[in-house]
Structure 1
Amino acid sequence: MSVPSSKKITLILGAELDKLVTLPWTWLTLIGTFIINLLLAAAFTSVGLQGAAGTQSILNIGLASMGYLQAGFLILGILAACSEYTGGQIRTTLTTIPWRGFQLSMKLLALAVITIPAAFIIAASGVLYTFIRMRDTAVGFEINTMIEALAGATGYLTLTALLSAAMGALLRRTTPALVILLGYYFVVSPLTKDFLPGLKKYFPDTVGNYMYMPPSPDEINVLTPLQGTGILMLWTLIFIIVAIVFYRRRDA
């Protein structure tokens, strides 16, 4: 089968982007994540205001909700990949777009196009709220440090959404994908944080922390933000390649 031309690839990307934009769950997930993040930011900021003045970091408190915020982007990625299987629309999609590898790649690219600005806005809203509430009592920060932290948070949430979408494409069912990923990120990973620490720091959820959160002074053998980004990109790429291979070889 011939490779689609650049025009066809553009049309496929536009079609996948249109499907995601018109999917109600996309906006419900993002709006819900935004609201929950503000509530968590308010809670963490209130706790921070009760601490010692001048010792609290605005960035650390503003990004403290990231551990919970990632759930929204896990759900977003899974829904983006699995929504067409629910009603059988995937058959129509594959009939219209027979280039399966390109179709899934464009779906993931469309997801990234939506996720990047959404992740930045949501992450920045928590930092902005904390800054407004604590600007007179907390430790200040340089603008470059804030930009790097927000860029890292945006990258982490985007890669998390893409990884979860690849898992959704592999399993093709929303519930199993949610159980596996949410179970790993919120149950298995916290319970195993003290086991094999030398290897644990290379796992997807752990390396993501290095992308936006500066390590504590007593940490040793930590990864740099660039190293964390590279490792998480590798994890995501592996899942995407496996998803594309299975997607091309099996029936809809």
Structure 2
Amino acid sequence: MSAPSSKKITLILGAELGKLITLPLTWLTLIGIFILNLFLTAAFTSVGLQGASGTQSILNISLASMGYLQAGFIILGILAACSEYTGGQIRTTLTTIPWRGLQLSTKYVALAIITVPAAFIIAASGVLYTFIRMRDTAAGFEIDTMIKTIVGATGYLTLTTLLSAAIGALLRRTTPALVVLLGYYFVVSPLTRDFIPKIRSYFPDTAGSFMYMPPSPDEINALTPMQGTGILVLWTLIFITVAIVFHRRRDA
């Protein structure tokens, strides 16, 4: 089988992007995340107005909803990976695009193209809302810090979506993938917080949190934003690689 040309690669990417864009659940999920973020940010900001002031307080409050938002992006990644298996459309896809590794790789690229702007808008809207509400207490607010925080949050949500899509491709079923990922992020990881603090810093969710939220001064096993980014990127690439290998060897 001859290797696909650059034109074919572009067409495959366009096809994968078109499938995600025309999938109603994609937009329903993103709209739901956006509304949830505004609701949670408003609630956290109302509480924060009675607490500490300053730049760091604003950023902490505006991104306090990240722990809940990541669930929405996990769902987005799983839906992108598993939707074709639900109705058996994957057979048509693989018949049309016989290069399995390329097909799955371009799906991840297409997913990133959709996720990056969506994550940026959602993260920025939360920060902007909190800043407007707390601008009178924002002494010494630095725009560079805000931009770095929003970019870090965008990167974390995007990488979390891609990692979830990779695990979804491995399991090929929506419900098991949701159980595994939501169980890890919201049950296993919090329970291990006090038992293995040194190792836990290298877990994908913990390492990724340093991308957008500076650690507290008394945190011993803190990572820098670059270290957190590198570790989460490594986790994501490992799962994507494994997903591609299995995708090439398994039956549809």
TM-score (norm. length: structure 1): 0.97
Structure 2 distance, partners of 1:222, 1:249, is 40
Counterpart in 2 of 1:234? 234
Q: In the TM superposition, what are the counterparts of 1:64-75 in structure 2 within 5 Å? A: 64-75=64-75
CA contact (8 A) 2:54 2:141 kept: no
Q: Secondary structure of 1:220's match? A: coil
CA contact (8 A) 2:150 2:212 kept: yes
Counterpart in 2 of 1:118? 118
Q: Secondary structure of 1:157's match? A: helix
Q: How large is the Cα RMSD of the aligned pairs?
A: 1.2
Structure 2 distance, partners of 1:61, 1:161, is 23
Return structure 1 stretches of 4+ with deviation > 4 angstroms.
52-56
Counterpart in 2 of 1:39? 39
User: What does the per-residue CA deviation read over 1:100-126, in whole Å, with 9 as the maximum and x for residues that have no partner?
Assistant: 000000000000000000000000111
Counterpart in 2 of 1:197? 197
Q: Which amino acid aligns with 1:84?
A: E
| Structure 1 residue 50 corresponds to structure 2 residue 62 | no
Q: In the TM superposition, what are the counterparts of 1:140-159 in structure 2 within 5 Å? A: 140-159=140-159
Extract unaligned runs of 5+ from structure 1.
Answer: none
Counterpart in 2 of 1:92? 92
Q: Secondary structure of 2:231's match? A: helix
User: What does the per-residue CA deviation read over 1:171-220, in whole Å, with 9 as the maximum and x for residues that have no partner?
Assistant: 00000000000010011111111111111000000001100001111122
Q: Secondary structure of 1:31's match? A: helix
Structure 2 distance, partners of 1:248, 1:56, is 47
User: What does the per-residue CA deviation read over 1:127-146, in whole Å, with 9 as the maximum and x for residues that have no partner?
Assistant: 01101111112444211111
Q: Secondary structure of 2:107's match? A: helix
User: What does the per-residue CA deviation read over 1:41-75, in whole Å, with 9 as the maximum and x for residues that have no partner?
Assistant: 00100110122455871111111111111011000
Counterpart in 1 of 2:59? 59
User: What does the per-residue CA deviation read over 1:207-240, in whole Å, with 9 as the maximum and x for residues that have no partner?
Assistant: 0110000111112231110110010000000000
Q: Which amino acid aligns with 2:191?
A: L
Deviates more, 1:56-65 or 1:146-155: 56-65
Change beyond 3 A, Cα 1:146–1:56: closer
Structure 2 distance, partners of 1:131, 1:55, is 9
Structure 2 distance, partners of 1:155, 1:66, is 12
CA contact (8 A) 1:57 1:139 kept: no
CA contact (8 A) 1:58 1:140 kept: no
Extract unaligned runs of 5+ from structure 2.
Answer: none
Counterpart in 1 of 2:28? 28
CA contact (8 A) 2:55 2:140 kept: no
User: What does the per-residue CA deviation read over 1:70-103, in whole Å, with 9 as the maximum and x for residues that have no partner?
Assistant: 0110000000000001111000000000000000
Counterpart in 1 of 2:225? 225
